[in-house]
Amino acid sequence: MTERQLARLLREVRAGRLPVAEAVERLRSLPFEDLGFAKVDHHREIRTGFPEVIYCAGKTTTQVIEIAKRIVERHSVALATRCTPETAEAAQKAFRQVLWHETPRVLVIGKPPKPSPRAKPVAVLTAGTADVPVAEEAAVTAEAMGCRVERVYDVGVAGLHRLLRYRETLRKARAIVVVAGMEGALASVVGGLVSAPVIAVPTSVGYGASFQGLSALLTMLNSCASGVVVVNIDNGFGAGYFAALLVRGNKR
């Protein structure tokens, strides 16, 4: 239930069009619904502006589908990350509207909010093609939250002229997600070119001394460019979510 839906319900009770007992029944699952194996936080959209997101890793297909059903019943969209193909196939059978993004392993169920025509886009960049799965997790997350996304992939510092071709795209963006493995230098370069906030995502892409993304993480944390913030290794979801918050602004 969204904040708008809750307000409408209370107005109906006040106007006498909705019996109190029925209103109580509709609110019974607030602030959460206990499924035994999970407590679904239906109150989260009221608090944060977006429903609870399902992290599929470690959950069975049955658990993911059941949680998604409860979210979709009360909200317009359910987002599920780190999903297996088996779970995606089950979701496509269980729901009418399902988008399965195979590369980032993300499911979008239901109707995401439409982007505002006046809102600036989120730009998502990668240093290399190997970083695309993490970048797509960020891009799909931002789109599910109602953002327009511009993708600019394979523009790492080994060929800097590729990045400079997209300066106009960077200039128009409200927030920029930069996804890079190996030494992770792309975030600092982009941070020195733009006025928009840069969300840096280190990936586990790289040879042995990259330490599964630790070298990129440390480079990004030590960036000399102002306006760069860093999320965890391979955390495209966190970057996309934060970028969407910047675009959406404080709607409360």
What pLDDT shows up at residue 65? 96
pLDDT in tens, 98-150: 999 999 999 999 988 888 888 899 999 999 999 999 999 999 999 999 999 99
Length of the chain: 252
Question: Tens digit of pLDDT for each residue in 202-235?
Answer: 999 999 999 999 999 999 999 999 999 999 999 9
User: Which CATH number is correct for 122-248, 3.50.50.60, 3.30.390.10, 3.90.230.10, 3.40.50.1970?
Assistant: 3.40.50.1970
> What is the model's pLDDT at position 251?
55
Which residues 6+ apart lie within 8 Å of 215 measured at CB?
Answer: 182, 183, 184, 206, 209
Cα separation, 166 vs 97, in Å, equals 34
Q: Are 175 and 246 in contact (CB under 8 A)?
A: yes
What is the DSSP annotation of 11-62? Answer: HHHHHTSS-HHHHHHHTTT-S-EE-SS-EE-TTHHHHHSSPPPEE-TTS-HH
The count of other CB atoms within 10 Å of the CB of residue 183 is 18
% residues pLDDT > 90 (the chain): 70
| 158 token code pair | 């080994």
For the whole model, what pTM was predicted? 0.85
Residue 201 has pLDDT above 80, yes or no: yes
